[in-house]
């Protein structure tokens, strides 16, 4: 077994170009497995029951389900390599189901916390006006951080109250922009124009820009949200995703239809929206029925 493991690790390094930290992780995972089934065991003798016993033992000894799932993935890669090399006839690890992982629920803010966060008075300078507009829009429209960063000035129609967004897979959607966010953008846009003029970047199309006149990056937006949350003294880690989740949760608690929330968030399936809102299915059904007891076409599937 050990000879085959060494061959596999060499394959990862030379043929796959795997980074060293990945190789180290695979080494540890396979060492754990060999300790259970025997270092001298012939790989062709190992079956799905051995792999299943290994995964169960990892969970039983206190490893997280995520760690157990990662070690199963390492075994799948290892036996896939052995199958290509003709050492085994099949990949026994592919017959074993990965442990079900419980994903932590995203945090969301209360209505009061959200209002305080987005409405902080930082003054009338360029940065303060930009940050206010950014926060108002993030909460108003529930955009992903990448969508916020990707907005251009021409993407937002303040008169009509909506913005054009390109989400995952470059899919376009139209999202409403609330009155407070429109007011904040109207205050920010003249300051943006003055800043770009002063740094010789008047042709820049990005809606949210840095002091040098370039597009504000995803990371910079995360830092803005974190800084403002800390200034307010909000507990825990607050991110742009927190605002997106808060947007969806407040809409749902207000009785909004799930299909509407799904469209606003840009989710491909309703099941994603259900998970995102962290409510059980019965509560989702109750809210849906209360909001739209006479849906136009309840049997239609997207």
Q: Where are the beta strands (DSSP E) in the chain?
A: 156-157, 162-166, 172-176
In DSSP terms, which residues pair with 264 in a beta bridge?
none
Contact assessment for residue 50 and residue 92, using Cβ atoms and an 8 Å cutoff: yes
The yes-or-no verdict on residue 276 having pLDDT over 60 is no
> Would you place residue 106 in the very low, low, confident or very high pLDDT band (cuts 50, 70, 90)?
low
Q: pLDDT at position 254, please?
A: 80
Task: Considering the candidates 26, 188, 276, 288, report the single residue annotated as catalytic.
Answer: 276
Q: pLDDT at position 300, please?
A: 36
Contact assessment for residue 165 and residue 174, using Cβ atoms and an 8 Å cutoff: yes
> Would you place residue 131 in the very low, low, confident or very high pLDDT band (cuts 50, 70, 90)?
very high
Question: Between 54 and 59, whose confidence is greater?
Answer: 54
Contact assessment for residue 264 and residue 251, using Cβ atoms and an 8 Å cutoff: yes
- pLDDT tens column, 193-225: 999 999 999 999 999 999 999 999 999 999 999
237 token code pair:
């880690």
DSSP label of 43: G
Contacts of 115 (CB under 8 A, 6+ apart): none
Mean pLDDT of the chain: 84
- pLDDT tens column, 2-49: 899 999 999 988 988 888 888 898 999 999 899 888 888 899 999 999
Angstrom distances, CA of residue 226 to CA of 131, 167, 222, 230, 231: 12, 23, 6, 6, 9
Residue boundaries of the structural domains of the chain:
2-95, 111-291
- pLDDT tens column, 237-271: 899 999 998 888 888 878 787 788 888 888 877 76
Work out the angle at residue 177's Cα, subtended by the Cα atoms of residues 264 and 223, and round it to the nearest 5 degrees.
85
Q: pLDDT at position 286, please?
A: 52
Q: Which residue reads 């419980």 in tokens?
A: 102
DSSP label of 251: H
Q: What is the pTM of this model?
A: 0.60
In DSSP terms, which residues pair with 209 in a beta bridge?
215
Q: pLDDT at position 278, please?
A: 55
Question: Is position 290 annotated as part of the catalytic site?
Answer: no
Question: Is position 168 annotated as part of the catalytic site?
Answer: yes
- The distance of Cα 207 from the centroid of its chain, to the nearest Å, equals 23
Question: Is position 244 annotated as part of the catalytic site?
Answer: yes
Query: Counting every residue, how long is the chain?
Result: 302
Question: Is position 4 annotated as part of the catalytic site?
Answer: no
Task: Considering the candidates 65, 173, 241, 250, report the single residue annotated as catalytic.
Answer: 241
Question: Is position 267 annotated as part of the catalytic site?
Answer: yes
> What fold, for 2-95?
DNA polymerase; domain 1 (1.10.150)
Contacts of 215 (CB under 8 A, 6+ apart): 149, 204, 206, 208, 209
Q: Which of 266, 277, 268 is nearest to 150 (CA)?
A: 266
Q: Which residue reads 């796959």 in tokens?
A: 16
> Would you place residue 285 in the very low, low, confident or very high pLDDT band (cuts 50, 70, 90)?
very low
Question: Between 301 and 126, whose confidence is greater?
Answer: 126
Question: Is position 144 annotated as part of the catalytic site?
Answer: yes
- pLDDT tens column, 148-162: 999 999 999 999 899
Percent of the chain with pLDDT over 90: 46
Task: Considering the candidates 4, 132, 144, 192, report the single residue annotated as catalytic.
Answer: 144
- Candidate CATH numbers 1.10.443.10, 2.130.10.10, 2.70.150.10, 3.60.40.10; the one for domain 111-291: 1.10.443.10
Task: Considering the candidates 28, 168, 186, 227, report the single residue annotated as catalytic.
Answer: 168
Contact assessment for residue 69 and residue 98, using Cβ atoms and an 8 Å cutoff: yes
Q: Three-state DSSP class for 164?
A: strand
The yes-or-no verdict on residue 71 having pLDDT over 70 is yes
Q: pLDDT at position 101, please?
A: 59
């Amino acid at each position: 077994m050990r000879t085959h493991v060494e061959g596999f690790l060499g394959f990862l390094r030379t043929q796959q170009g795997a980074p060293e930290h990945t190789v180290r992780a695979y080494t540890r995972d396979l060492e754990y497995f060999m300790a259970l089934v025997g270092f001298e065991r012939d790989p062709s003798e190992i079956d799905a029951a051995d792999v299943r016993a290994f995964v169960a033992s990892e969970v039983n000894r206190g490893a997280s389900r995520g760690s157990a799932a990662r070690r199963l993935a390492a075994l799948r890669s290892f036996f896939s390599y052995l199958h290509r090399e003709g050492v085994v006839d099949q990949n026994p690890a592919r017959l074993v189901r990965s442990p079900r992982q419980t994903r932590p629920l995203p945090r969301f803010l209360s209505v009061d916390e959200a209002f305080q966060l987005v409405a902080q008075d930082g003054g009338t300078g360029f940065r303060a006006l930009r940050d206010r507009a950014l926060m108002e829009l993030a909460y108003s429209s529930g955009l992903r951080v990448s969508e916020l960063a990707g907005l251009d000035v021409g993407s937002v129609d303040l008169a009509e109250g909506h913005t054009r967004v390109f989400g995952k897979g470059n899919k376009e959607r139209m999202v409403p922009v609330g009155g407070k966010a429109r007011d904040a953008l109207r205050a920010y846009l003249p300051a943006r124009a003055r800043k770009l003029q002063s740094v010789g970047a008047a042709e820049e199309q990005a809606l949210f820009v840095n002091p040098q006149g370039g597009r504000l990056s995803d990371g910079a937006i995360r830092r803005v949200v974190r800084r403002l949350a800390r200034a307010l003294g909000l507990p825990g880690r607050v991110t742009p995703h927190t605002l997106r989740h808060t947007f969806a949760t407040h809409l749902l608690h207000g009785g909004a239809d799930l299909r509407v929330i799904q469209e606003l968030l840009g989710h491909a399936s309703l099941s994603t929206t259900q998970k995102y809102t962290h409510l059980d299915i019965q509560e989702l059904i109750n809210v849906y029925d209360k909001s739209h007891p006479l849906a136009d076409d309840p049997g239609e599937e997207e």
